[in-house]
Chain A
Amino acid sequence: MSALGGAMTPANFLLEVENLSVSFDGFKALDDLTFQVGNNEIHAIIGPNGAGKTTLLDLISGRTKPTGGRIAFKGDEITHLTEHEIVTAGIGRKFQTPSVYDSLTVFENLEMSYPSGRGWWSAWRFKRTADVIERVEEVAELIDLQDRLQDRADVLGHGQKQWLEIGALLIQRPDLLMLDEPVAGMSVPEREKTAQLLKQVSEGRAVIVVEHDMHFVETIADRVTVLHQGKHLAEGKMNVVKNDPKVIDVYLGH
Chain B
Amino acid sequence: MKRDLWSRLNHIWATAVRRPDWLVMGLTAFLILAVFPATLSVFRLALIGKYLTFAFAAVGLVLCWGKGGILSLGQGVFFGLGGYCMAMFLKLEASDPVSTSIQSTPGIPDFMDWNQLTALPWFWKPFQSLGFTVFAVPVVPGLLALGIGLAMFKRRVGGVYFAIVTQAIAAILSILIVGQQGYTGGINGMTDLKTLWGWDIRTDSAKVTLYYVNALLLFGALWLVHSILQSKLGRVLVAMRDKEERVRFTGYDVARFKTFVFVLSAMLAGVGGAMFTLIVGFMSPSFVGITASIEMVIMAAVGGRHSLLGAVYGSLLVNLGKTFFSETFPELWLLLLGSLFILVVMAFPNGLAGIDLGKFVRMLKTGGMKLLRVNGPVATARAGAEVEVPR
Pick the interface stretch among A25-33, A87-95, A205-213, A244-252. A87-95
B39 at the interface (CB under 8 A from A): no
Known: A120-B257, A120-B260. A104 touches B235 (CB 8 A): yes
Chain A, residue nearest B249 (CB): A93
Partner of A126, one of B227, B231, B249, B257: B231
Assess A124 versus B233: contact at CB under 8 Å? Given A101-B238, A101-B243: yes
- The chain A residue sitting closest to B227, CB to CB, is A124
State whether A112 touches B248 (Cβ < 8 A): no
* Binary B-proximity of A76-99 (CB < 8 A = 1, otherwise 0): 000000111001100011010001
The digit string for B82-107, where 1 denotes a CB below 8 A from any CB of A, is 00000000000000000000000000
Residues of B within 8 A of A (CB): 227-228, 231-233, 235-236, 238-239, 241-243, 245-254, 256-257, 260
Q: B321 to nearest A CB, angstroms?
A: 31
Partner of A112, one of B239, B245, B260: B239
Pick from B228, B241, B248, B260: contact of A83, CB below 8 A: B248
Q: Is A100 an interface residue (CB 8 A)?
A: yes
Q: Are A126 and B245 in contact (CB under 8 A)?
A: no
Judged by DSSP, the binding face of B is helix
- Given A101-B238, A104-B239, A126-B231, is A113 in contact with B257 using a C-beta cutoff of 8 Å? no
Residues of A contacting B256 in the complex (Cβ-Cβ under 8 angstroms): 119-120
The interface bits of chain A over 97-116 (1 if a CB of B lies within 8 angstroms of the residue's CB, else 0) are 00111111000100111010
Give chain A interface residues in 2-56, CB to chain B under 8 Å. none
With A104-B239, A124-B232, A126-B232 known as contacts, the answer to whether A99 contacts B251 (CB < 8 A) is no
Bound-state CA distance A120–B256 (Å) is 7
Of all chain B residues, which has the CB nearest A117? B232
Chain B proximity mask over A145-172: 1 for CB below 8 Å, otherwise 0: 0000000000000000000000010001
Determine the chain A residues whose CB is within 8 A of the CB of B231 once the complex forms: 123-126
In the complex, chain B residues whose CB is within 8 Å of the CB of A99: 243, 245-246
In the assembled complex, which residues on chain B have CB atoms less than 8 Å from the CB atom of A92? 249
What CA separation (Å) do A26 and B232 show in the bound complex? 43
**A residues less than 8 Å from B250 (CB atoms):** 87, 112-113, 168, 172
B-contact 0/1 string along A118-130, CB 8 Å cutoff: 1110011110000
Determine the distance from Cα of A168 to Cα of B243 in the docked complex, in whole angstroms. Answer: 14
A82 to B247 CA separation, bound complex (whole angstroms): 13
Excluding A84-B251, A101-B246, A120-B256, 6 further A-B contacts by CB distance (< 8 Å) are: A112-B236, A112-B247, A113-B251, A117-B232, A119-B253, A126-B232
Contacts of B257 in A (CB 8 A): 120, 123
- Inter-chain CA distance A88–B248, complex, in Å, is 11
Residues of B within 8 A of A87 (CB): 249-251
Q: CA separation between A123 and B236, bound complex, in Å?
A: 8
Asked whether any CB of chain B lies closer than 8 Å to the CB of A194, the reply is no
Residues of B within 8 A of A124 (CB): 227-228, 231-233
CB of A122 to closest CB in B, whole Å: 9
